[in-house]
Amino acid sequence: MIQKHEQFRLLMMKALDGELSPQEETEFQQFLQEKAFRREWLEFKQLKEVTQGMKFKYPPQEVWDSYWMNVYNRLERGLAWILLSIGAIIFLSYGLYQLFHVVVNGSELPLLLRVAIVALVIGTAILLVSVIREKLFVRKRDPYKEVQQ
């Protein structure tokens, strides 16, 4: 019985989507002699009629006109971001190394100034990371992102 029902379901899907072969059509018509199968078929057919009448709105032509350009720009910018990041990492590492030298070995600087420099650098770094993280988090989860102001 389960196998019979399974066979009917598959034939019904093909019937709804116009993919029945003539032989399957005959088989399907035989199934429809049974009241339960016929009822299910009519229900699914009705649903199909509704969904058939729906389609997505076509966006403005400019979306398609600029589509590839946007992909291209993002592709290029991807490389630019990688290069920029590499440069920034090297630059920052060198800067921190120099700063470390000044703070640790710079005997001419008063201790208070050294502490101030360290506090300033650490504070800025924490603040920067925190703001970036918050922005990324909000951008990802903001439910009103698509609401136009």
Partner 1 sequence: MKTKTNDWTSVNPSDEEVSTTRQELDERMLVVRSQRGEKAAFGELVRRYMQRAYFTALGITGSGEAALDLSQDAFIRAYRAIKKFEPGRPFFAWYYQILRNLCFNYLRDRKRHAAPFSEIGESRLSQISDVLQRPDEALQRKEIQEAVWQAMNRLKPEEREILILREFEGYSYNDIAGMLTIPVGTVMSRLYYARKSLRDQLSDRLKDPV
Judged by the rule CB under 8 A, the positions of this chain that interact with partner 1 are: 6, 9-10, 12-14, 16-17, 19, 38-39, 42-57, 59, 63-64, 67-68, 70-72, 74-75, 78, 140-141, 143, 145-146
Choice between 67 and 91, CB closer to partner 1: 67
d(CA 32, CA 68): 50
Choice between 62 and 108, CB closer to partner 1: 62
Choice between 10 and 131, CB closer to partner 1: 10
CB atoms within 10 A of CB 37: 19
Tell me the angle at which helices 67-105 and 111-141 cross, rounded to the nearest 10 degrees.
160
Cβ 35 to partner 1, closest distance in Å? 9
CA 134, 136, 139: angle at the middle one, nearest 5?
Answer: 105
